Chains A and B, each alone.
Chain A
Amino acid sequence: MSAATLIRNGRIEADDYQWPDDADPIPGRGRIVVGLDRWRAEADALNRNDLQVGVALPNTADIESLEHGVLERPLLVLCFPGFADGRAYSQARLLRRRGYHGELRASGDAVVLDQLQSMMRCGFDSFALRADQDPQRCLDAHRAFDLAYQPLDAATPLVSRLRRSTAP
Chain B
Amino acid sequence: MYQYDQYDQRLVDQRVAQFRDQTRRFLDGQLPEEEYRALRLRNGLYIQRFAPMLRIAIPYGLLASRQLRMLAHIARTYDKGYGHFTTRQNMQFNWPRLEDVPDILADLASVQMHAIQTSGNCIRNITADHLAGVAADELVDPRPYCELTRQWATFHPEFNWLPRKFKIAFSSSTTDRAATRVHDIGVHIVRNAAGELGYTIYVGGGLGRMPMIGHAIREFLPQAQLLSYLDAVLRVYNRLGRRDNMHRARIKILVKDLGPQRFAELVEAEWAQVRATADGAALDFGDADLQRMATHFDAPAYRTEAAADRRYESAIAGDSAFAAFARRNVREHRVPGYKIVFVSLKGPGIAPGDITAEQMDRVAELADRYSFGELRATHDQNLVLADVAQEDVHAVWSALREIGLATPNIGLLTDMICCPGLDFCALANAGSIGVAQDINDRFDSLDHLYDIGEIKLKMSGCMNGCGHHTVGHIGILGVDKKGEEWYQVTLGGSAENDATLGDRTGPSFSRDEIADAVQRIVEVYLEQRRDEDESFLACYRRIGMAPFKAHLYPTEVAA
Answer yes or no: are A and B bound together in one complex. Answer: yes
Chain A residues with Cβ below 8 Å from B243 are 85, 87
Chain A residues with Cβ below 8 Å from B289 are 160, 163-164
Chain B residues with Cβ below 8 Å from A94 are 235
Known: A150-B156, A151-B279. A159 touches B151 (CB 8 A): yes
Query: Is B155 within 8 A of A90, CB to CB?
Result: no
Bound complex: CA A89 to CA B8 (Å): 24
Query: Is B282 within 8 A of A84, CB to CB?
Result: no
Which chain A residues in 109-123 approach chain B with CB under 8 Å?
Answer: 110, 112, 114, 117-119, 121-122
Does any Cβ of B come within 8 Å of A97's Cβ?
yes
Bound complex: CA A146 to CA B14 (Å): 9
Taking the nearest CB of chain B, how far is it from the CB of A58, in angstroms? 12
Which chain A residues in 128-168 approach chain B with CB under 8 Å?
Answer: 144-152, 159-160, 162-164, 167
Query: Is B18 within 8 A of A144, CB to CB?
Result: yes
Bound complex: CA A122 to CA B235 (Å): 12
Does any Cβ of A come within 8 Å of B292's Cβ?
yes
Query: Is B288 within 8 A of A164, CB to CB?
Result: yes
Which chain A residues in 55-99 approach chain B with CB under 8 Å?
Answer: 64, 83-87, 89-91, 93-94, 97
Bound complex: CA A116 to CA B292 (Å): 33
Taking the nearest CB of chain B, how far is it from the CB of A105, in angstroms? 17
Does any Cβ of A come within 8 Å of B5's Cβ?
yes
Total A residues in contact with B, Cβ cutoff 8 Å: 35
Query: Is A112 within 8 A of B35, CB to CB?
Result: yes
Bound complex: CA A137 to CA B157 (Å): 20
Bound complex: CA A97 to CA B8 (Å): 28
Cβ 8 A contact of A86, one of B34, B160, B292: B160
Cβ 8 A contact of B161, one of A89, A150, A159, A167: A89
Taking the nearest CB of chain B, how far is it from the CB of A168, in angstroms? 10
Query: Is B14 within 8 A of A149, CB to CB?
Result: no
Does any Cβ of A come within 8 Å of B452's Cβ?
no
Taking the nearest CB of chain B, how far is it from the CB of A48, in angstroms? 33
Taking the nearest CB of chain B, how far is it from the CB of A113, in angstroms? 9
Bound complex: CA A123 to CA B158 (Å): 10
Bound complex: CA A83 to CA B10 (Å): 27
Query: Is B155 within 8 A of A149, CB to CB?
Result: yes
Nearest residue (CB) in A for B10 is: A147
Query: Is A167 within 8 A of B288, CB to CB?
Result: yes
Bound complex: CA A152 to CA B283 (Å): 10
Does any Cβ of A come within 8 Å of B482's Cβ?
no
Query: Is B288 within 8 A of A89, CB to CB?
Result: no
Interface SS of B by simple majority: helix
Bound complex: CA A114 to CA B152 (Å): 20
Does any Cβ of A come within 8 Å of B27's Cβ?
no
Query: Is B158 within 8 A of A93, CB to CB?
Result: yes
Bound complex: CA A112 to CA B529 (Å): 62
Known: A147-B7, A150-B157, A152-B158. A83 touches B277 (CB 8 A): no
Does any Cβ of A come within 8 Å of B238's Cβ?
yes
Which chain B residues in 127-175 approach chain A with CB under 8 Å?
Answer: 151-152, 154-162
Bound complex: CA A62 to CA B273 (Å): 14
Nearest residue (CB) in A for B239 is: A90
Taking the nearest CB of chain B, how far is it from the CB of A99, in angstroms? 10
Which chain B residues in 150-206 approach chain A with CB under 8 Å?
Answer: 151-152, 154-162
Does any Cβ of A come within 8 Å of B38's Cβ?
yes
Query: Is B238 within 8 A of A87, CB to CB?
Result: yes
Known: A122-B158, A151-B279. A163 touches B22 (CB 8 A): no
Does any Cβ of A come within 8 Å of B217's Cβ?
no
Query: Is A163 within 8 A of B292, CB to CB?
Result: yes
Cβ 8 A contact of B22, one of A90, A114, A149: A114
Listed residue (B151, B238, B273) with the most chain A CB atoms within 10 angstroms of its CB? B238
Known: A112-B35, A114-B22, A114-B35. A149 touches B239 (CB 8 A): no
Nearest residue (CB) in A for B18 is: A144
Does any Cβ of A come within 8 Å of B306's Cβ?
no
Bound complex: CA A99 to CA B541 (Å): 56
Does any Cβ of A come within 8 Å of B11's Cβ?
yes
Nearest residue (CB) in A for B241 is: A87
Query: Per-residue CB proximity of B1-43 to A under 8 Å, as 1/0?
Result: 0000101101100110010001000000000001100110000
Query: Per-residue CB proximity of B265-294 to A under 8 Å, as 1/0?
Result: 000000001000101001100101100100
Query: Is B38 within 8 A of A118, CB to CB?
Result: no
Known: A83-B38, A90-B239, A97-B273. A162 touches B157 (CB 8 A): no
Does any Cβ of A come within 8 Å of B90's Cβ?
no
Query: Is B151 within 8 A of A151, CB to CB?
Result: no
Listed residue (B5, B38, B158, B283) with the most chain A CB atoms within 10 angstroms of its CB? B158
* Subset of 16 A-B contacts with CB under 8 Å: A83-B38, A86-B160, A86-B162, A86-B238, A89-B158, A90-B235, A97-B279, A114-B35, A117-B157, A148-B155, A149-B11, A149-B154, A150-B152, A151-B282, A159-B7, A159-B151
In order of increasing CB-CB distance, the 3 nearest A-B pairs are: A86-B161, A118-B157, A151-B282
Identify 20 new A-B residue pairs, CB closer than 8 A, beyond the known A114-B39, A118-B157, A159-B151: A83-B38, A86-B238, A89-B157, A89-B238, A90-B239, A91-B239, A93-B235, A97-B277, A117-B157, A118-B160, A121-B157, A122-B158, A144-B14, A144-B18, A145-B11, A147-B7, A150-B156, A159-B11, A160-B289, A162-B7
